[in-house]
A and B are shown apart, each in its own frame.
Chain A
Protein backbone atom coordinates (compact mmCIF):
# COMPACT_ATOMS: atom_id res chain seq x y z
CA UNK A 1 0.00 0.00 0.00
CA UNK A 2 1.38 3.41 -0.88
CA UNK A 3 0.22 6.02 1.55
CA UNK A 4 0.76 9.48 0.15
CA UNK A 5 -0.60 12.92 0.87
CA UNK A 6 -1.17 15.82 -1.46
CA UNK A 7 -0.93 19.54 -0.85
CA UNK A 8 -1.78 22.08 -3.56
CA UNK A 9 -1.48 19.39 -6.23
CA UNK A 10 1.94 18.13 -5.11
CA UNK A 11 2.11 14.59 -3.75
CA UNK A 12 4.55 13.47 -1.08
CA UNK A 13 5.31 10.16 0.63
CA UNK A 14 6.99 11.45 3.77
CA UNK A 15 4.65 13.05 6.28
CA UNK A 16 7.46 14.68 8.20
CA UNK A 17 8.52 18.23 7.34
CA UNK A 18 11.68 19.42 9.05
CA UNK A 19 13.18 22.81 9.68
CA UNK A 20 16.74 23.79 8.87
CA UNK A 21 17.45 26.16 11.75
CA UNK A 22 19.54 25.80 14.93
CA UNK A 23 21.89 23.08 13.65
CA UNK A 24 25.58 23.02 14.57
CA UNK A 25 26.54 23.22 10.89
CA UNK A 26 25.24 22.49 7.41
CA UNK A 27 26.71 18.95 7.40
CA UNK A 28 24.75 17.95 10.49
CA UNK A 29 21.65 19.62 9.10
CA UNK A 30 21.91 17.71 5.82
CA UNK A 31 22.51 14.41 7.65
CA UNK A 32 19.44 14.99 9.84
CA UNK A 33 17.27 15.75 6.80
CA UNK A 34 18.51 12.54 5.18
CA UNK A 35 17.78 10.48 8.32
CA UNK A 36 14.33 12.03 8.70
CA UNK A 37 13.30 10.98 5.21
CA UNK A 38 11.69 14.41 4.81
CA UNK A 39 10.85 15.54 1.29
CA UNK A 40 10.09 19.11 2.37
CA UNK A 41 12.25 21.42 4.48
CA UNK A 42 11.35 24.85 5.77
CA UNK A 43 13.78 27.67 5.05
CA UNK A 44 13.94 31.32 6.02
CA UNK A 45 14.53 34.31 3.75
CA UNK A 46 17.27 36.64 4.96
CA UNK A 47 19.66 39.27 3.70
CA UNK A 48 22.79 38.02 1.97
CA UNK A 49 25.92 39.00 3.86
CA UNK A 50 27.35 41.42 1.29
CA UNK A 51 30.55 41.85 3.31
CA UNK A 52 31.35 38.14 3.03
CA UNK A 53 29.52 36.72 0.01
CA UNK A 54 31.60 33.54 -0.08
CA UNK A 55 30.16 32.02 3.10
CA UNK A 56 28.70 28.53 2.56
CA UNK A 57 25.02 28.52 1.63
CA UNK A 58 22.22 26.15 2.55
CA UNK A 59 21.64 25.23 -1.11
CA UNK A 60 25.18 23.80 -1.24
CA UNK A 61 24.18 21.16 1.33
CA UNK A 62 20.47 20.55 0.78
CA UNK A 63 19.69 20.39 -2.92
CA UNK A 64 16.45 22.23 -3.75
CA UNK A 65 16.07 20.02 -6.82
CA UNK A 66 15.73 16.95 -4.58
CA UNK A 67 14.12 18.42 -1.47
CA UNK A 68 11.24 20.87 -1.70
CA UNK A 69 12.13 24.16 -0.05
CA UNK A 70 9.19 25.62 1.86
CA UNK A 71 10.03 29.30 2.49
CA UNK A 72 8.68 30.62 5.77
CA UNK A 73 7.93 34.03 7.20
CA UNK A 74 9.46 33.43 10.61
CA UNK A 75 10.10 36.69 12.40
CA UNK A 76 7.29 38.57 10.65
CA UNK A 77 4.80 40.32 12.92
CA UNK A 78 2.54 41.93 10.30
CA UNK A 79 0.77 40.71 7.18
CA UNK A 80 2.75 43.20 5.09
CA UNK A 81 6.13 41.92 6.30
CA UNK A 82 5.09 38.33 5.64
CA UNK A 83 3.78 39.08 2.14
CA UNK A 84 6.93 41.04 1.27
CA UNK A 85 9.09 38.15 2.46
CA UNK A 86 7.20 35.56 0.43
CA UNK A 87 7.22 37.66 -2.73
CA UNK A 88 11.01 37.71 -2.42
CA UNK A 89 11.05 33.97 -1.68
CA UNK A 90 9.04 33.26 -4.80
CA UNK A 91 11.50 35.30 -6.85
CA UNK A 92 14.50 33.60 -5.22
CA UNK A 93 13.24 30.10 -5.74
CA UNK A 94 10.33 30.15 -8.11
CA UNK A 95 8.04 28.33 -5.68
CA UNK A 96 4.48 29.28 -4.86
CA UNK A 97 4.14 26.72 -2.04
CA UNK A 98 5.01 28.68 1.09
CA UNK A 99 4.65 28.58 4.86
CA UNK A 100 2.92 31.61 6.29
CA UNK A 101 3.37 32.53 9.91
CA UNK A 102 2.53 35.94 11.31
CA UNK A 103 3.56 36.19 14.92
CA UNK A 104 1.74 38.08 17.64
CA UNK A 105 4.46 38.50 20.26
CA UNK A 106 8.02 37.40 20.89
CA UNK A 107 7.39 35.78 24.28
CA UNK A 108 4.97 33.07 23.13
CA UNK A 109 5.44 33.29 19.33
CA UNK A 110 1.71 32.72 19.19
CA UNK A 111 0.25 33.59 15.78
CA UNK A 112 -1.61 36.86 15.28
CA UNK A 113 -4.69 35.36 13.64
CA UNK A 114 -6.14 38.64 12.38
CA UNK A 115 -2.94 39.40 10.46
CA UNK A 116 -2.53 35.75 9.46
CA UNK A 117 -6.00 35.67 7.91
CA UNK A 118 -5.40 38.94 6.08
CA UNK A 119 -2.07 37.71 4.71
CA UNK A 120 -3.60 34.38 3.65
CA UNK A 121 -6.23 36.16 1.55
CA UNK A 122 -3.70 38.43 -0.16
CA UNK A 123 -1.25 35.61 -0.85
CA UNK A 124 -3.96 33.34 -2.26
CA UNK A 125 -5.10 36.19 -4.53
CA UNK A 126 -1.52 36.57 -5.77
CA UNK A 127 -1.34 32.90 -6.71
CA UNK A 128 0.59 31.65 -3.69
CA UNK A 129 -0.25 28.31 -2.06
CA UNK A 130 0.04 29.17 1.62
CA UNK A 131 0.42 26.48 4.27
CA UNK A 132 -0.55 28.39 7.37
CA UNK A 133 0.75 28.22 10.95
CA UNK A 134 -2.18 28.95 13.25
CA UNK A 135 -3.76 28.55 16.64
CA UNK A 136 -5.40 25.22 17.46
CA UNK A 137 -8.87 26.67 16.95
CA UNK A 138 -11.29 24.79 14.67
CA UNK A 139 -13.16 27.98 13.73
CA UNK A 140 -9.98 29.84 12.81
CA UNK A 141 -8.94 26.78 10.79
CA UNK A 142 -12.17 26.95 8.79
CA UNK A 143 -11.70 30.66 8.17
CA UNK A 144 -8.16 30.09 6.91
CA UNK A 145 -9.36 27.39 4.56
CA UNK A 146 -12.01 29.74 3.17
CA UNK A 147 -9.33 32.41 2.75
CA UNK A 148 -7.23 30.12 0.57
CA UNK A 149 -4.93 28.17 2.91
CA UNK A 150 -3.78 24.96 1.19
CA UNK A 151 -2.85 23.38 4.53
CA UNK A 152 -3.77 24.14 8.13
CA UNK A 153 -0.85 23.95 10.54
CA UNK A 154 -1.96 24.38 14.14
CA UNK A 155 0.59 24.60 16.92
CA UNK A 156 0.70 21.72 19.39
CA UNK A 157 2.50 23.95 21.90
CA UNK A 158 4.58 27.14 21.57
CA UNK A 159 7.34 27.15 18.92
CA UNK A 160 10.56 25.67 20.24
CA UNK A 161 9.02 24.65 23.58
CA UNK A 162 9.05 20.88 23.09
CA UNK A 163 6.05 20.59 25.40
CA UNK A 164 4.13 18.17 23.18
CA UNK A 165 0.55 18.47 22.01
CA UNK A 166 -1.36 20.33 24.69
CA UNK A 167 -4.90 20.04 23.37
CA UNK A 168 -5.74 16.76 21.70
CA UNK A 169 -9.40 17.72 21.36
CA UNK A 170 -8.88 20.87 19.30
CA UNK A 171 -6.37 19.17 17.00
CA UNK A 172 -8.84 16.34 16.42
CA UNK A 173 -11.68 18.81 15.76
CA UNK A 174 -9.52 20.66 13.20
CA UNK A 175 -8.67 17.36 11.46
CA UNK A 176 -12.35 16.34 11.34
CA UNK A 177 -13.45 19.68 9.92
CA UNK A 178 -10.72 20.28 7.36
CA UNK A 179 -10.87 19.70 3.62
CA UNK A 180 -7.16 20.44 3.23
CA UNK A 181 -4.19 18.72 4.91
CA UNK A 182 -3.65 19.38 8.61
CA UNK A 183 -0.13 19.28 10.02
CA UNK A 184 0.88 19.92 13.59
CA UNK A 185 3.48 22.67 13.40
CA UNK A 186 5.42 23.47 16.56
CA UNK A 187 5.49 22.01 20.03
CA UNK A 188 6.73 18.49 19.32
CA UNK A 189 9.52 17.57 21.74
CA UNK A 190 10.11 13.88 21.24
CA UNK A 191 9.01 10.95 19.13
CA UNK A 192 5.86 10.10 21.09
CA UNK A 193 4.55 13.65 20.51
CA UNK A 194 4.85 13.14 16.75
CA UNK A 195 3.10 9.78 17.01
CA UNK A 196 0.25 11.38 18.98
CA UNK A 197 -0.26 13.98 16.24
CA UNK A 198 -0.44 11.28 13.61
CA UNK A 199 -2.77 9.09 15.69
CA UNK A 200 -5.16 12.03 15.86
CA UNK A 201 -5.40 11.85 12.08
CA UNK A 202 -3.10 14.67 11.11
CA UNK A 203 -1.68 14.46 7.59
CA UNK A 204 1.79 15.32 8.81
CA UNK A 205 4.02 16.97 11.38
CA UNK A 206 6.43 19.87 11.03
CA UNK A 207 9.28 20.26 13.48
CA UNK A 208 12.68 21.87 13.87
CA UNK A 209 13.91 22.25 17.44
CA UNK A 210 13.00 18.71 18.58
CA UNK A 211 15.57 17.37 16.12
CA UNK A 212 18.11 20.21 16.04
CA UNK A 213 18.42 20.46 19.84
CA UNK A 214 18.57 16.73 20.54
CA UNK A 215 21.99 15.59 21.76
CA UNK A 216 22.18 13.44 18.64
CA UNK A 217 20.09 15.24 16.02
CA UNK A 218 20.62 12.63 13.31
CA UNK A 219 19.41 9.81 15.58
CA UNK A 220 16.41 11.90 16.68
CA UNK A 221 15.60 12.59 13.02
CA UNK A 222 15.33 8.85 12.45
CA UNK A 223 13.23 8.48 15.63
CA UNK A 224 10.85 11.12 14.29
CA UNK A 225 10.61 9.40 10.92
CA UNK A 226 9.66 6.14 12.64
CA UNK A 227 7.25 7.88 15.03
CA UNK A 228 5.41 9.62 12.22
CA UNK A 229 5.14 6.34 10.31
CA UNK A 230 4.03 4.46 13.45
CA UNK A 231 1.42 7.05 14.34
CA UNK A 232 0.10 7.07 10.79
CA UNK A 233 -0.19 3.26 10.70
CA UNK A 234 -1.90 3.23 14.10
CA UNK A 235 -4.39 5.83 12.87
CA UNK A 236 -5.10 3.90 9.66
CA UNK A 237 -5.36 0.55 11.43
CA UNK A 238 -8.10 1.83 13.75
CA UNK A 239 -7.19 1.51 17.38
CA UNK A 240 -9.13 -0.67 19.86
CA UNK A 241 -11.84 0.88 21.99
CA UNK A 242 -10.88 1.93 25.50
CA UNK A 243 -12.45 -0.01 28.41
CA UNK A 244 -12.88 1.06 31.99
CA UNK A 245 -11.71 -2.29 33.38
CA UNK A 246 -9.57 -5.28 32.43
CA UNK A 247 -10.38 -7.78 29.72
CA UNK A 248 -8.26 -10.96 29.75
CA UNK A 249 -6.26 -11.78 26.67
CA UNK A 250 -6.18 -15.54 27.33
CA UNK A 251 -9.38 -17.66 27.04
CA UNK A 252 -11.26 -18.35 30.25
CA UNK A 253 -12.68 -21.64 28.90
CA UNK A 254 -10.62 -24.77 29.67
CA UNK A 255 -9.04 -23.39 32.82
CA UNK A 256 -7.69 -26.23 34.94
Chain B
Protein backbone atom coordinates (compact mmCIF):
# COMPACT_ATOMS: atom_id res chain seq x y z
CA UNK B 1 0.00 0.00 0.00
CA UNK B 2 1.28 3.46 -0.82
CA UNK B 3 1.47 6.27 1.76
CA UNK B 4 -1.97 7.68 0.92
CA UNK B 5 -3.59 4.24 1.22
CA UNK B 6 -4.30 3.88 -2.49
CA UNK B 7 -3.02 1.12 -4.74
CA UNK B 8 -1.11 1.99 -7.90
CA UNK B 9 -1.65 -0.78 -10.43
CA UNK B 10 -1.03 -1.43 -14.09
CA UNK B 11 -4.00 -2.62 -16.17
CA UNK B 12 -3.19 -3.72 -19.72
CA UNK B 13 -0.11 -1.56 -19.64
CA UNK B 14 -1.91 1.56 -18.34
CA UNK B 15 -1.27 2.94 -14.88
CA UNK B 16 -4.28 3.41 -12.59
CA UNK B 17 -4.68 4.38 -8.98
CA UNK B 18 -7.42 2.61 -7.04
CA UNK B 19 -8.73 3.13 -3.48
CA UNK B 20 -7.25 0.81 -0.86
CA UNK B 21 -9.25 -2.38 -0.34
CA UNK B 22 -10.58 -2.49 -3.93
CA UNK B 23 -11.48 -6.04 -5.01
CA UNK B 24 -10.85 -7.38 -8.51
CA UNK B 25 -14.61 -7.31 -9.10
CA UNK B 26 -14.68 -3.61 -8.16
CA UNK B 27 -11.66 -2.93 -10.34
CA UNK B 28 -13.40 -4.53 -13.35
CA UNK B 29 -16.52 -2.47 -12.68
CA UNK B 30 -14.38 0.66 -12.30
CA UNK B 31 -12.92 0.06 -15.76
CA UNK B 32 -16.47 -0.44 -17.08
CA UNK B 33 -16.36 -4.11 -18.03
CA UNK B 34 -18.65 -7.10 -17.57
CA UNK B 35 -16.81 -9.62 -15.35
CA UNK B 36 -18.55 -12.49 -17.13
CA UNK B 37 -16.88 -11.55 -20.42
CA UNK B 38 -13.27 -11.20 -19.37
CA UNK B 39 -10.41 -13.16 -17.87
CA UNK B 40 -7.95 -11.60 -15.48
CA UNK B 41 -4.29 -12.32 -14.95
CA UNK B 42 -2.65 -10.81 -11.84
CA UNK B 43 1.15 -10.68 -11.86
CA UNK B 44 1.13 -13.48 -14.50
CA UNK B 45 -1.20 -15.71 -12.43
CA UNK B 46 -4.81 -16.40 -13.52
CA UNK B 47 -7.40 -15.08 -11.09
CA UNK B 48 -10.36 -17.51 -11.09
CA UNK B 49 -13.59 -15.65 -11.80
CA UNK B 50 -15.15 -17.18 -8.68
CA UNK B 51 -12.65 -15.23 -6.54
CA UNK B 52 -13.05 -11.80 -8.18
CA UNK B 53 -15.05 -10.57 -5.17
CA UNK B 54 -12.49 -11.71 -2.62
CA UNK B 55 -9.11 -10.84 -4.10
CA UNK B 56 -7.98 -7.33 -3.09
CA UNK B 57 -5.71 -5.37 -5.40
CA UNK B 58 -2.35 -4.42 -3.98
CA UNK B 59 0.02 -1.58 -4.72
CA UNK B 60 2.32 -2.52 -7.58
CA UNK B 61 0.07 -5.23 -9.05
CA UNK B 62 0.14 -5.75 -12.78
CA UNK B 63 -3.08 -6.91 -14.45
CA UNK B 64 -3.97 -8.22 -17.87
CA UNK B 65 -7.68 -8.17 -18.66
CA UNK B 66 -8.49 -10.04 -21.88
CA UNK B 67 -11.51 -11.05 -23.92
CA UNK B 68 -12.29 -12.76 -27.20
CA UNK B 69 -11.86 -10.82 -30.42
CA UNK B 70 -12.13 -11.83 -34.05
CA UNK B 71 -9.31 -14.08 -35.22
CA UNK B 72 -8.46 -16.89 -37.57
Contact = CB atoms under 8 A, between A and B. Distances in A.
A89 B39 contact: yes
Interface stretch (A5-13, A39-47, A194-202, A223-231): A39-47
Interface string B7-23: 00001111000000000
A91 B49 contact: yes
A54 B19 CA distance: 23
B11 A69 contact: no
The A interface is mostly helix, strand or loop, or mixed, namely: mixed
A69 B69 CA distance: 11
Contact of B71 (A42, A50, A207): A42
A159 B69 CA distance: 18
Contacts, number: 104
Contacts of B31: 48, 50, 53
B62 to A, nearest CB: 12
B1 to A, nearest CB: 22
Interface residues of A, number: 40
B72 A159 contact: yes
A48 B12 contact: yes
Nearest to B68: A43
Nearest to B70: A20
A158 interface: no
5 contacts: A53-B31, A84-B44, A91-B48, A92-B66, A92-B68
Interface of B: 11-14, 31-33, 37-41, 44, 46-49, 64-72
Interface of A: 19-23, 26, 29, 42-51, 53-54, 57-59, 64, 69, 71-72, 74, 84, 87-89, 91-93, 159-160, 207-209, 212
